[in-house]
Structure 1
Amino acid sequence: MTARITIVTRTKSRPVFLARALDDIFAQTFQDFELVIVNDGGDPAAVEHLTSQRSQAEQARITTLHHAESVGMEAASNAGIKAGTGEFVVIHDDDDFWAPTFLERTVEYLDDPAHASDAGVMVRTEIVIEEIADGRIEPVRREIFWADLRQITLADMLRINRAVPISFLYRRSLHDAVGYYNEDLPVVGDWEFHLRVLSHSRVGFIDGEPLAFWSQRPESDGHDGNSIFAKAAEHARYDALVRDDHLRNEVAQGGMGTVLYLSRVLAEQEELIRAQERRLDETVAKLDQVLGRLDALNQTIITRTSVGEFLKKPLLLARKLGSRS
């Protein structure tokens, strides 16, 4: 029988994280899912050992794809998606995790006739800063990801990625409309996919307590690191390339008139901002001078007051002695 949800877990040489991910997935209150693990160039034996520890019923719902060499995050996602058949799809990377009701709440949302036109749904997400200590995952601190987020819009997504794969459950039919993940992108592939999704249809948002948790390890590198830190320069480069590709396509279809006009408006706004910054710098410099003068004056007053008080003491003492006699 076909499961309603295909969960795709990308992993590579991170057995500690994969073990936690398996516990997390099979602890969901909604159990009508299949799990496709994509081992993207890691040791097959380590993955097989972990899956063999699950119950027979759970093992029957797991499909494992082993890539002899890494094909990259987006190609791994596509391989996992195509290996599944679920009505809904979600990417659950090996180091991220969910609240137990994530699947239940998101499926319930998309099953609601009021949300029939939504291509998928994203949830309130929390960043969990972690570190690896003696082979254990230790949480360090937590913070809400985009605490001001109240809805998912293309306008916001154009500026910067406002979601991560662990937070997004969507309809499989979406791939027929917008295609799969762009395998030419070594990073920012999820953001580029979100742009195409939101260009095509709406995406819902479940607010409230976090239902998804994005694990980050700023101090880790190698297999235990996050690409957002380890490949920061690549993120900036491919962010620019994605924007340029989409702009090029837009110009090819509609000409440069609007783009040229908006570019000029943007340049003028940037010049206004720079002028404001220069005026602010000048104001700060003048304020520093005034504060310096006040500080010097204050020191002079303190010094004079102190000397005056010192000279007054003998006179006060003489007056007290005279009054006693």
Structure 2
Amino acid sequence: MTAGARITIVTRTKNRPIFLARALDDIFAQTFQDFELVVVNDGGDPADVERLTSQRSDAERARITTLHHSESVGMEAASNAGIKAGSGEFVVIHDDDDFWAPTFLERTVAYLDEPANAAQSGVMVRTEIVIEELVEDRIEPIRREIFWADMHQITLADMLRINRAVPISFLYRRSLHDAVGYYNEDLPVVGDWEFHLRVLSHSRVGFLDGEPLAFWSQRPESEGHDGNSIFAKAAEHAHYDALVRDEHLREGVAQNGLGTMLYMSRVLAEQEELIRAQQRRLDESLAKLDHVLERLDALNQTLITRTSVGEFLKKPLLLARKLGGKG
């Protein structure tokens, strides 16, 4: 471990050596090198992790601390273990399957070092989703798309609706944990979103717009260790999303009473009823339109049939006229 490193990078991994190899290459290719790396092997085969870290140079190995968990403790507990094992002024979670632009660390640290941004607890960056698939021992990109392309700042209001960031995109000050605590280890999923809510409730977070500096790897077709929890555990995401909202709602009610919540619930119920009424009117209009189209189609078929019969009856008359003309 590098004493006094400015950044602690935490990489969570479990039985994904192909991705971990890419992650190590990505981390050590950064233009900003004042960091320490904590690799948290959360219940995976230690041999794969040791093999890959041992292949790094002596200087790089000196900056790596590896934590092996004999059994998985979950993503959030793994994050907390890695954070506490380091001492950097800044912290960032670099999962084994995600990656950065080479200047990610340089630009995010420079942003937080600016005196004008001293009050900001961290900074998030423009992120690109990279859809990939594993082909034997290769990672093959399929397509790319910008994550929240319409987002140009990070706000609590937006984060309340849905998670607008992923760990690979967020470098923050270690002091945040003194103010808001660590990742919630009771959450098997959505822990990063719940942490973001607490962070934004405490202070502002900056945003580096422009070209993507972070890349979120997704594999919708992969299962097991190679899959993404957002796909493999979609039902769990919905379940714990609701639990997080309910927990924070209870805290708000305990502090401020039910008055505001009762009023807002009534307003939302009225809005939902308006939406349902509008949907009913739309459904009725579509049903009427379908009926009109069916009648027009039937009328059209009738006209076609009559025209065809008329043409059939005209043919003998025309033939007779032609024969009569020859006589």
Aligned to 2:219: 217
Q: 1:278 — aligned with what? A: 280
- With over 3 angstroms needed to count, the CA separation of the structure-2 counterparts of 1:315 and 1:69, relative to structure 1, is same
Q: CA offset at residue 309 of structure 1?
A: 4.2
Instruction: Give CA-to-partner distance per residue, 1:4-41, whole Å, 9 cap, x none.
Output: 11110000111111001001111111111111101111
2:143 and 2:178 map into 1 onto residues whose CA distance is 40
Whole-Å separation in 2 of the counterparts to 1:141 and 1:237: 29
Q: Whole-Å Cα distance in 2 between the matches of residues 320 and 211 of structure 1? A: 83
Shift of 1:313: 5.6
One of 13, 19, 22 as aligned partner of 2:21: 19
Counterparts of 1:268 and 1:224, CA distance in 2 = 44
Correspondence for 1:169 among 165, 171, 195: 171
1:288 paired with 2:290, answer yes
1:79 maps to what in 2? 81
Number of aligned residue pairs: give it.
325
**Within-5 A mapping of 1:301-316:** 301-312=303-314
Q: Give the Cα–Cα distance (whole angstroms) in 2 for the partners of residues 252 and 270 of structure 1.
A: 27
- Aligned residue number for residue 115 of structure 1: 117
Alignment partner, residue 245 of structure 1: 247
Q: Secondary structure at the match of 1:266?
A: helix
Residue 85 to residue 322, structure 1, CA distance change in 2 (3 Å): farther
The corresponding residue for 2:268 is: 266
Identify the range of structure 1 (151-160 vs 115-124) with the bigger mean alpha-carbon deviation.
115-124
Structure 1: runs of 5 or more not aligned: none
Higher deviation after alignment, 108-117 or 28-37: 108-117
Is 1:61–2:63 an aligned residue pair?
Answer: yes
Shift, 1:200, TM fit = 0.6
Q: Equivalents in 1 of 2:155, 2:324: separation in Å?
A: 87
- 1:35 matched residue in structure 2: 37
Shift of 1:124: 1.1
Corresponding letter in the other structure for 1:108 = A
- The gaps in structure 2 that reach 5 residues or longer are none
Q: Could you tell me which residue of structure 2 aligns to residue 185 of structure 1? A: 187
- The percent identity for this pair of structures is 87
Determine the structure 2 residue equivalent to 1:105. 107
Higher alpha-carbon deviation: 82-91 or 107-116: 107-116
Return the TM-score normalized by structure 2.
0.94
Whole-Å Cα distance in 2 between the matches of residues 310 and 205 of structure 1?
75
TM-aligned CA deviation for residue 316 of structure 1: 6.7
In the TM superposition, what whole-angstrom CA distance separates every residue of 1:209-259 from its partner, at most 9, and x where no partner exists? 211111111111111111111111111111111111100011111110111
For the residue of structure 1 that corresponds to 2:111, the secondary structure is: helix
Residue 8 of structure 1 aligns to a residue whose secondary structure is: strand
1:182-227 alpha-carbon deviations (Å, 9 max, x no partner): 1111110000000000001111111112111111111111111111
Q: Aligned equivalents of 1:143 and 1:318: distance in 2?
A: 72
Scaled by the length of structure 1, the TM-score of the pair is 0.95
Partner of 2:229: 227
Amino acid at match of 1:202: R
- CA RMSD in angstroms, aligned pairs only: 1.8
Q: What amino acid sits opposite 2:171 in the alignment?
A: L
Report deviation, 1:92. 0.2
**What residue identity is the alignment partner of 1:306?**
S
Deviates more, 1:227-236 or 1:163-172: 227-236
* Stretch deviating more after TM superposition (220-229 or 10-19): 220-229
In 1, Cα distance between the equivalents of 2:157 and 2:163?
11
Structure 1 residue 314: deviation in Å?
6.3
Shift of the alpha carbon at 1:163?
Answer: 0.6
Distance 2:58 2:322 in 1: 100
- CA apart distance, 1:87: 1.1
Q: How far apart in 1 are the matches of 2:260 and 2:284?
A: 36
Partner SS, residue 20 of structure 1: helix
Tell me the secondary structure at the aligned position of residue 66 of structure 2. strand
Q: Which moved more, 1:106-115 or 1:41-50?
A: 106-115
3-state SS of 1:45 partner: helix
Q: Distance in 2 between matches of 1:3 and 1:318?
A: 105
Change (3 A) 1:101 1:322: farther
Task: Give the match's secondary structure for 1:127.
Answer: strand
C-alpha separation in 1, matches of 2:114 and 2:318: 89
